[in-house]
Structure 1
């Protein structure tokens, strides 16, 4: 059993993660959740100066790990923080399509006269980090270098097509050259990171952002952090070159479900964004018109991976047996608790249920949702197993599968434990291991156990893992199910996908979709059919939370695409603070 790393407290100069929320994909611009009404100003009796205007947000417990580009940190927390702190070239518009962020960029366009597919980015001269350094080409270079080669990143396929990132005009113009045409280029270079502070970070890419960001490129900056107490205070970023934030500060307070409801009822929280089970949802509804409720899907689908590069599951018949032993509905209940995510069951291998263009691709009748003992027995006997004393064995060795779920992620672990019990009930041995997210997604899953010394490799047979959503669909498909390639210079091999799946016959189709030579729907139909047939991944549900909003804060909107409510935080207008004791 791996041990999770301890999170240390961070100082006021270090930005840390704050909340857990992202918003649903929408095809029409949503109205404000609450009509604006200006709060009455209050003044301090001692100084007669106006008290700071604040918005208090109730959140789930605060954890470290805030790199929005890694599977280990792919969470509502990192998504929310990145929308507040990190600059992006494109952001979702009102209709859900990507729109150039003109606060950061002057332009971003394909260079028609270039010999190879090239995109030229022009960054605004005034755009800079909160420590005074400019946002520049080095930030583009750093993100490209990491996402093309680091194991366990969320969406590497588009970055792996890039041959070179060149700096022009003192770093304020960036020219990106691709090995092949890439129609999805507008999804790249979101959530830029401060390269001048991270490039030589002593702990490296996988852990450098465990406790937050060392600089901000957004409208808010950190004022105070107290993770033990469960409170983080953000204040208006004085170095922000865009329109100043409407409120002076945002205060995040962690609480359990009962505490969230009490704080909303009393007015101690203006809004809350958190995971909720069915009991909590009923309690929220009992608050009546005190709050508005909204389900906000996260940009990740929860899935069960059956890794064909595992020696135990290399036989398709064994994978089919495992699929037949699964009680899918019980796994969904274990993960969602009957909360908002329960309404977003997933039945496709690439797109998430809330994404535009989502259509179930699951073959009719392939998975009943309940265990099928007869099919389990048939598949395992065909694979050469015999059931002895209630346990399936082959050549005197019992079938015992290792199921991994990331440490500290409660819903992942609950699903893994429920799955292990289901398999044991069908005579299949199962053990749950809980490594840290960095160990699981950055070391174990990207490794190929069939290409290494078996004595030196811990092979994970199955994993409960997120499948990212919201990017270029073709790139998402390539990142999830494509064969590992090499860098354009032919020197650097890229990591395997988390599923450990590679079909050389499918690879040309995946590459054709990625480079625009085949429409994504046509390519997806072929790829998804093969993934279902090979019993590689079982989608469960799209992750989601509840947004509960009181009427004394204005300007809160769901956000477009997967941008989420925190993408509009600069327009939130709260109420005068009850005290200014920070």
Structure 2
């Protein structure tokens, strides 16, 4: 609980004041703060609020950071403040133990490979339930077997999790050594509330956070109004935040810039195009501000799916790839904004990350002659001015991108236009995210395809261990081996048994990732599975009033440091 000026007072003392006033009918001591119905959060009178308002493009969910469907600027912002993590990115991008949650985390056995985690005894969710081993178990079980999750390969190496000391010591046993283990168990979820939730994993954090465990708690999450209000979590066991609250407010780029000019917003985090960049330049002529580019962990890619019956033929995939103008796709997808600085010229490591090296071959350019030759070799014919067909049936391509997701829909529509110009029938569909990643792309658990999606424009996400990204995106379907639900295939359905040993060696540390990629990347380009385009980058604008607001650690987002922000009153 807080006073109107922000001073914290003991709960017992606050209760005594309320009781005393009730007994004596005192009326001249001024109003006490109103206690919110949200666990762990106090409401501060509006006139004394110490807040920072951040303009954003959108506030809609889902907010599950472990799903491909949930990837967004707003998800990264919220989870960095609301969910606990074993490790967080240091300023140089390396993983650093988060001592707000953890006492220790270390490899304690090499045979079997075991990592022991010790949590702080005072770490708890906003509903007072302790953070414990069940939260680790829940995330592991979901990540190893659910479709559409981000970088599951590391979790699939875990063979058992044991609880000790009332759940505050967690022993994680791996079937093989896993040097990337520090990338696991970020953004833990409240298992006691989610494990029996109707709709299960698919609905976890779709539109709300049932409990949180960070320096802030959710006061309101109003998608229709476009506003999320976070207030200081009074049940947080560590240093309280300097701010009373952080407000995330949706607006158009023009609306956000107007709010910055009028100082209604103190910062903005947007996916800017060239027009927005020019507008910020104009605003800076009359308003002191600092702007920065913030690369996200997402790389926009075009997947040509060998799991599709039509694209099982390598020649057809190569023909479609030769029909695409990659430069035009990058230009329209980035809008010549900050993302244009991060062209993704490799298959696995994102451009802003250490270890990135371009591997794109010289031949990835529009080549109508190659398209015609390859389709001809695959048995297709094209009458002059007509469409490509085989056995009297036109070659028709279905392209999918998540409903309402940008820049993915924009790129998908450009892919469709380019294929049509090449004489290939193509259409774009935009299913909801959970349908696309949870049903359409994985097909059935046993491998039969239940969809006719040939190409999809989706993010490839790096959660810290690029070897896990490689294994998750291009590895063959593994087997858990314990009789549980079969593991879904990767989004493209690609599997090359000759590459799999190299992928496994990179994941388990027997081979350096760079050495493995030297062997793997040329094959991936030749197989025409994925056409990486660019890494998504946000644009951060900060006024002097938002003291401490900056880019943040790599892939953590600017709001990851909001607990230390301060509001400077002008």
Matches within 5 A, 1:259-298: 259-288=255-284, 290-298=288-296
Given that 2:266 and 2:543 are in contact with CA atoms closer than 8 Å, whether structure 1 keeps it comes out as yes
Is residue 367 of structure 2 the alignment partner of residue 372 of structure 1? yes
- Identify the match of residue 434 of structure 2 among 438, 452, 455: 438
Hey, what does 2:323 align to over in structure 1?
A: 325
Corresponding residue for residue 358 of structure 2 = 360
- SS at structure 2 position matched to 1:548: strand
Matched, 1:190 2:186: yes
Q: 2:61 aligns with which of 40, 64, 78?
A: 64
The SS at the match of 2:388 is: strand
Match of 2:121 among 119, 125, 144: 125
What is the number of equivalent residue pairs in this alignment? Answer: 529
Conservation of the 8 A alpha-carbon contact between 2:445 and 2:487:
no
Find the aligned partners of 1:201 and 1:13 in 2 and give their Cα distance.
Answer: 19
Q: Quote how far apart the aligned CAs of 1:396 are.
A: 0.9
Higher relative contact order (CA 8 A, sep 6+): 1
- Is the deviation greater in 531-540 or in 209-218? 209-218
Q: Does 1:149 align with 2:145?
A: yes
2:416 to 406, 416, 420: 420
Structure 1: where are the runs of 5+ without partners? 1-10, 16-43, 578-582
1:398-417, aligned counterparts within 5 Å?
398-417=394-413
Structure 2 SS opposite 1:387: coil
Q: How far apart, in 1, do the equivalents of 2:288 and 2:529 lie? A: 46
1:533 alignment counterpart: 526
C-alpha displacement at 1:194, in angstroms?
Answer: 0.3
Unaligned runs of 5+ in 2: 1-35
Using the alignment, how far apart are the partners of 1:52 and 1:438 within structure 2?
Answer: 38
CA distance in 1, matches of 2:237, 2:222: 28
Are 2:172 and 1:172 equivalent residues in the alignment? no
Distance 1:439 1:149 in 2: 16
Is the Cα–Cα contact under 8 Å of residues 68 and 437 in structure 2 kept in the other structure? yes
Q: Shift of residue 499 of structure 1?
A: 1.6
| Counterpart pick for 1:208 among 196, 201, 204 | 204
Alignment partner for residue 339 of structure 1, among 337, 343, 351?
337
For residue 329 of structure 2, give the secondary structure of its aligned residue in structure 1. Answer: helix
Q: 1:486 aligns with which of 474, 479, 484?
A: 479
Give the Cα–Cα distance (whole angstroms) in 2 for the partners of residues 12 and 526 of structure 1.
57
The secondary structure found in structure 1 opposite 2:280 is helix
1:558 aligns with 2:548: no
Q: Could you tell me how far 1:574 is from its partner in structure 2?
A: 1.4
The verdict on how the C-alpha distance between 1:12 and 1:484 changes in structure 2, with shifts beyond 3 A counting, is farther
Contact 2:304–2:454 under 8 Å retained in 1: yes
Confirm or deny: 8 A CA contact 1:265 1:290 kept in the other structure: no
Matched residue, 1:103: 100
Separation in structure 1 between the aligned mates of residue 208 and residue 354 of structure 2, nearest angstrom: 32
Which whole-Å CA distance do the structure 2 matches of 1:391 and 1:459 have between them? 20
| Counterpart in the other structure of 1:6 | none
CA contact (8 A) 1:309 1:448 kept: no
C-alpha spacing 1:390/1:450, structure 2 compared with 1 (3 Å):
farther
Aligned to 2:243: 247
Aligned partner of 1:218 among 197, 214, 220: 214
> SS at the partner of 2:217?
strand
Deviations 1:508-543 (A, max 9, x none): 110011111111111111111111010000000001
Give per-residue Cα distances to partners, 1:334-383, cap 9 Å, x unaligned.
222111111111101100000111000112x2212xx3211111111111
Structure whose CA Rg is larger: 2
Moved over 4 A (4+): 11-15, 448-451
Task: Describe the shift of the 1:190–1:450 C-alpha distance in structure 2 as closer, same or farther (beyond 3 A).
Answer: closer
Residue equivalent to 1:7: none
Q: Distance between the aligned counterparts of 2:275 and 2:252, measured in 1?
A: 13
Does the Cα contact within 8 Å between 2:441 and 2:451 map onto a contact in 1? no
Deviates more, 1:216-225 or 1:153-162: 216-225
How much does 1:253 deviate?
1.2
- Counterpart of 1:73? 70
**Is 1:52–2:49 an aligned residue pair?**
yes
Question: Is the contact made by 1:306 and 1:499 (CA closer than 8 Å) also made in structure 2?
Answer: yes
Per-residue deviation, 1:290: 1.9
Give, in whole Å, the separation in 2 of the partners of 1:516 and 1:450.
Answer: 30
TM-score (norm 2): 0.90
In 2, are the aligned partners of 1:12 and 1:224 still within 8 Å (CA)?
Answer: no
Matched, 1:504 2:497: yes
